Structure 1
Amino acid sequence: MVVSILGHSRISSFLRRTKLWRQFSQFSELYAALPHYFEEDFWNQCLEECIQWEKSKDPNWKLLNFYDPEYPKNLKEIFDPPMVFACLGNLQVLQSQLVAIVGTRKSSPVSLSATRKLVELLSVNKELAVVSGMALGIDREAFLSALEFGLPVIGVLGTTLGMEYPPGNRDLYKRIKEDANQLLITEFLLKTEPAKWTFPKRNRVISGLADKVYIMESGRKSGTISTAYSAMEQNREIFVFDHPKQFDNEGGRLLLRQGAQRLFGETKIPKEKPESQGKEISYEEWRNKRTIPSGMRRDGGWNLDFTL
C-alpha cells in the first residue's frame, strides 16, 4: 500500500470535501475503496507520483497516517485532520502533553522575554512538549527556550520536510534534526512551495495538537490570529500575553475582549523619576541613562515579576 497517496494534493482535497475517511476504521479499507472514486488513468497517475516520491524520500522520514495508533488523539478530534504526516524525529513526543506557543515574527523584546519566562515556568512539568511553527520571532524563541530548559519540541511546517524555511532558522533546524528527542512534521509530502495558503493549514495543526494555546504577541491581521481562531473552533484553552511595551498586540487584545484568558497578571513598569533641571551629572551617568531605558536589561529583556 502507498501511504503517501493520502498526501497527494488531488486525493487529499477529495477526502476533505467528501469526508470519505470517516466511513473506515483502517487505512487498508480506505485504500481499497479510493480507486472506485476516480478515473483509472487519473488514479494511476497519482499513484505513480506517490510511489516515486516514496522511493526518493529521505529514509529517515516516517509516514504517519490517520489510522495509526501513534496518530495524536487531539488532532483526530478536529474538523479536518491531516490524513498523513511526514515526520522526522521521535514520534513518542506526540503522546506528550502538548502546549502551543505562537506569535508574530516581528516580536518586541518584552514578548520574547515573556516567552522565555513562560517556557521556564512550564518546564517544571517534564511531561510537556512545546508545539510551534518554526517561524522567526516568537516561534523561534519558544523552541530555543524549550531546548534550553529540557522540553521536547514539535515543529509543524508549512512546507515539505526537505525544505528549511525560513532560511534564518537553519541553525534551529540543525539543532532539532541532530537531537533524537525532537520532532518535525508536515502534511505537505510532494513538492510544495511556501505560500499564503499553506500556513493557515499548518496553523490549524499547531492548535489542533495542543491542549492550550499561548498567544505571545499578534497584530489584528496575522498568522497568529489564524492559529487563535482555529483554536477557538477546536475548543482549546487560549491564553494571551498583553503588555504596554509590545510593538503591536492589537490582535491579542481583540482575543482578550472575546474571552481569552490573560497569561500573566498586570505588570507594572517602573517609571523614570524626573531629573531636577539644572542638575549636573557625569558623562557615565548620562551614557547609561541614554542607552538603557527603565526596566530593560542590556540583553533587551525586561526585569518584570511574571507570575502565571
Structure 2
Amino acid sequence: MVVSILGHPKVSSFLRKTKVWCRCGHFSELYQVLSNLIEEELWNQYVAECIQWEKSKNPNWKLVSFFEPEYPPNLKEIYDPPLVLACLGNLTLLQSPMVAIVGTRKSSPVSLFATKKLVELISANKDLVVVSGMALGIDRQAFLSALELQIPVVGVLGTTLGMEYPPGNRDLYKRIKEDPNQLLITEFLLKTEPAKWTFPKRNRVISGLADKVYIMESGRKSGTISTAYSAMEQNREIFVFDHPKQFDNEGGRLLLRQGAQRLFGETKFQIEEVELESKEMSYEEWRKSRTIPSGIGRDGEWKIDFTL
C-alpha cells in the first residue's frame, strides 16, 4: 500500500467531498475502500504516480498519515484535516503543545518588536513549540527569535518540501533543515506550485496545530485573517496585538471587535516636556533633554507593557 496516495490531488479532493475516511479506523481499510470507489484505470494511474514520487523523494522526508500515532492530536480535531503530512525533521514535535504566531509580510517595526518580546515570554514554558507559515515579516521574526532562544519551531509550507518559498527565507530554511530538533511539514506531496488556494489550506493547518493563535498585525484582507477565521472555526484561543504605530492592523482590530483577546497591556506614551530657552546647550545637555516621540524609548525600544 502507498501512503502518499492520500496526498494525491485527485484522491485528496475525492476524500474531502465524500468524507469516506471518517468511516475508516485504519489506513489499510481506507485504501481498500478507495480502490473500490475510484475507477480502476484512474486508481492504477494515481497509485503509479505516487509510487514514482516515493521512489524519487528525499529519503529524509517522512510520511505521517492521519491513522498513525505520530499524527498531531490537535489536527485530528479540525473539520478537514490533511490525511497525510510530509515531514522533515523532528517528528516528536508533532506531539508537543504549540502556539501559532502569524502576521502580515509587510510588518511594521513595532509589530516585529512585539513578536520578539512575545517569543521571549513564551520561552519561559520549556514545553511549547512555535508554529508559523515560513512567510516573510512576522512569521520570519517569530522563527528567528525562537531559534535564538532555542525554542523548537514547526514550519508549515504552502508548497512541497522540495521548494523553498519565498526565496527571501532561504537562510531560515537552511537553519531549520540543518537543526535536527526543528521540523518542516506540508500536506502537498506531488509537485505543487505556490498559488492563492494553497496558502488558505496551509493556514488552517497552522491554527489546527496550535492551542493559541497570536495575530501580530493584519490587514482586513490577508492570509493572516484566513488563519484567524480558521482558528475561530477550530475553537482556538485568539490573541491580537494592536498598536497605533502599526502600518495596517485593520484586520486585527476587526478581530478584537469580534471578541478576540488583546495581547499585552496598553501602550505607554511618555512624552517629556522640553523647556525652550534661548541659550546654548552642549550635545550632552541636548541629548538628555530631548523628547522621544511615537512611544520609542531612548534605548530604541518601544514603550509597551508586556504581559501575557
Bin the TM-score by the shorter chain: over 0.9
> Following the alignment from structure 1 to structure 2, what is the Cα–Cα distance between the partners of residues 273 and 162?
57
In structure 1, what residue type is equivalent to 2:16?
Answer: R
Change (3 A) 1:164 1:287: farther
1:91-102 map, 5 Å: 91-102=91-102
CA contact (8 A) 2:271 2:292 kept: no
> Following the alignment from structure 1 to structure 2, what is the Cα–Cα distance between the partners of residues 299 and 277?
26
CA contact (8 A) 1:109 1:300 kept: no
Shift of 1:80: 0.2
1:102-113 map, 5 Å: 102-113=102-113
| Partner in structure 2 of residue 22 of structure 1 | 22
More displaced stretch, 193-202 vs 281-290? 281-290
Deviations 1:224-260 (A, max 9, x none): 0000000000000000011111111110110000000
> Following the alignment from structure 1 to structure 2, what is the Cα–Cα distance between the partners of residues 283 and 240?
41
CA contact (8 A) 2:268 2:295 kept: no
> Following the alignment from structure 1 to structure 2, what is the Cα–Cα distance between the partners of residues 221 and 56?
39
Partner of 1:213, secondary structure, is: strand
Change (3 A) 1:278 1:208: same
- The question of 1:249 aligning with 2:268 is answered no
Deviations 1:63-119 (A, max 9, x none): 000001011111111000001010000000011111000001111111111111111
Change (3 A) 1:13 1:299: farther
Partner of 1:264, secondary structure, is: coil
| Partner in structure 2 of residue 36 of structure 1 | 36
> Following the alignment from structure 2 to structure 1, what is the Cα–Cα distance between the partners of residues 108 and 30?
48
More displaced stretch, 272-281 vs 255-264? 272-281
Between the two proteins, the alignment pairs up a number of residues equal to 308
| Partner in structure 2 of residue 45 of structure 1 | 45
CA contact (8 A) 1:270 1:294 kept: no
> Following the alignment from structure 1 to structure 2, what is the Cα–Cα distance between the partners of residues 127 and 4?
31
| Partner in structure 2 of residue 214 of structure 1 | 214
> Following the alignment from structure 1 to structure 2, what is the Cα–Cα distance between the partners of residues 13 and 265?
44
1:1-308 map, 5 Å: 1-273=1-273, 276=276, 280=280, 293=293, 295-296=295-296, 301-308=301-308
Change (3 A) 1:140 1:38: same
Q: Percent of aligned pairs with the same residue?
A: 80
More displaced stretch, 35-44 vs 86-95? 35-44
Change (3 A) 1:285 1:43: farther
> Following the alignment from structure 1 to structure 2, what is the Cα–Cα distance between the partners of residues 60 and 300?
43
CA contact (8 A) 1:160 1:189 kept: yes
TM-score by length of structure 1 reads: 0.94
> Following the alignment from structure 2 to structure 1, what is the Cα–Cα distance between the partners of residues 281 and 215?
43
> Following the alignment from structure 2 to structure 1, what is the Cα–Cα distance between the partners of residues 289 and 3?
62
CA contact (8 A) 1:109 1:301 kept: no
Shift of 1:296: 3.2
Change (3 A) 1:140 1:229: same
CA contact (8 A) 1:154 1:182 kept: yes
Partner of 2:52, secondary structure, is: helix
Partner of 1:154, secondary structure, is: strand
Partner of 1:16, secondary structure, is: helix
Unaligned ranges ≥5, structure 1: none
